[in-house]
Amino acid sequence: MTDLRVNTPPKPLYIDLHIHSTASDGSLSPREIIKAAEKVPLRAMAITDHDTIDGSAEALQHSKSTDVEILSGIEISADFESGAMHLLGYLFRLDDVRLGQVLEVVQKSRAERNLQIIQRLQDLGIDIDYDEVSEASGGGQVGRPHIAGVLVQRGVVQSIDEAFVTFLRKGGPAYVERYRLSPAEAIKTIRGAGGVAVLGHPSTLNTKTEAELDKIIAGLKGVGLQGVETYYPSHGPVRTALYERLARHHGLLVTGGSDFHGAAKSWVHIGFGSGDLRIPYRLVEDLKQTAGSGPDPVPHA
Ligand code: AMP
Ligand code: FE
Ligand code: FE
Ligand code: ZN
């Protein structure tokens, strides 16, 4: 008897919701990232560049010519004293006017800060100018990793990490603060554009106890947070379990991604992180359900 079932290949199982492109500090273009995702293969992906949606928009333009499902994405650095608080946004409208305005302000402050960092480095006797850094960035948002890259090229330091440790880290001799949105503003901006707001890699908040992290997450939920990035290369089983527990406890979604940057973080691979990351597609279904669940009133901060 002939088997009439059409022999379609099974859909890939895994996803990656945290990827950087050349629009910020990644080394691959959105097109190259899609190619890499097809190779894994991944079922879905989101480009989440620092403070810009350009990479995400470019990836979405290719969505008809790939089997990889592409979600809009962004990573916004929020103001947080004792560590790095990054808020991820997914499934927002790229053409949202308020989002565009907010990002413009943030990008302007970033550009000014970059010039001040270069000035500090020059004051420290280092021969570096902005044009080289801008060239290293390939035309996207310029960040400290690009400055670090030029310092390596120049032989001032041996590695990107050494550039951060010696000069660019928060509080380092060439560090300059920039304007950051408050966590509440970042969440409100993402949600105002119809997106889902997720706390990125809670590990970088540098909290010392579970109670401390629990309190921060509760506070963020109070201003509209909807998810926690749980699956992440450096989290390991213990922290992954902790973040998952806290997310469930607060009724928040769980998400995950590799934080792929390409050459700048060569040990991290799209989809699989440092090797053992496996993020199931059902998290995308959860995200879509939350995004589509209507305009939850975002409390005023
Ligand atoms: P910026 O957005 O310009 O403040 O730069 C922050 C970015 O620098 C982070 O998102 C990371 O991608 C990168 N970064 C921070 N610390 C380090 C480090 N020690 N080594 C390499 N990259 C780093
Ligand atoms: Fe980065
Ligand atoms: Fe981040
Ligand atoms: Zn990131």
**What CATH number does the domain containing 155 carry?**
1.10.150.650
Q: CA–CA distance from 221 to each of 155, 195, 196, 199 (Å)?
A: 45, 15, 12, 10
In a domain, 123, yes or no: yes
Q: Distance between CA 152 and CA 184 in Å, rounded? A: 37
Give the up-direction half-sphere exposure of residue 6: CA atoms within 13 A in the CB hemisphere: 1
In a domain, 179, yes or no: no
In a domain, 162, yes or no: yes
DSSP β-ladder status, 73-78 and 85-90: antiparallel
Tell me the per-residue pLDDT of 69-89, one tens digit each, with 9 for 90 and over: 999 999 999 999 999 999 999
In degrees, to the nearest 5, what angle opens at C-alpha 278 toward C-alphas 276 and 281?
A: 175
Residue 264 has pLDDT above 90, yes or no: no
Per-position DSSP letters for 246-281, written without gaps between them:
HHHHTT-EEEE---B-GGGGTT-BTTTBTTT---BT
Ligand 1 midpoint to CA 205 (Å): 14
Domain that holds residue 150: 104-168
Domain count, the chain: 1
In a domain, 147, yes or no: yes
Ligand 3 midpoint to CA 108 (Å): 19
Model pLDDT, residue 9: 80
Query: Where residue 277 falls among pLDDT bands split at 50, 70, 90?
Result: very high
In a domain, 53, yes or no: no
**Whether 148 contacts 163, CB under 8 Å:** yes
Among 182, 189, 177, which residue's Cα sits nearest to residue 103?
189
In a domain, 215, yes or no: no
| Position in ligand 1 atom list of the atom nearest CA 145 | 8
Which residue's alpha carbon is at the smallest distance from atom 8 of ligand 1?
145
Among 96, 252, 286, which residue's Cα sits nearest to residue 189?
96
Identity at 199, one-letter amino acid code: L
* Mean pLDDT taken over the chain: 94
> What's CA 89's distance to the chain center, in Å?
9
- Unique residue bearing structure tokens 């000014």: 112
Q: What is the DSSP letter of 124?
A: T
Structure tokens belonging to residue 80: 């947080």
Residues with Cβ within 8 Å of 287's Cβ and at least 6 positions away in sequence, in order, are 71, 90, 91, 196, 227, 253, 255
Query: Where residue 43 falls among pLDDT bands split at 50, 70, 90?
Result: very high
Residues with Cβ within 8 Å of 69's Cβ and at least 6 positions away in sequence, in order, are 43, 44, 45, 63, 284
**CB-ligand 1 contact for 160 (6 Å cutoff):** yes
pTM for the whole structure? 0.93
| Position in ligand 1 atom list of the atom nearest CA 51 | 2
In a domain, 151, yes or no: yes
Tell me the per-residue pLDDT of 136-174, one tens digit each, with 9 for 90 and over: 888 889 999 999 999 999 999 999 999 999 999 999 999
In a domain, 176, yes or no: no
**CB-ligand 1 contact for 117 (6 Å cutoff):** no
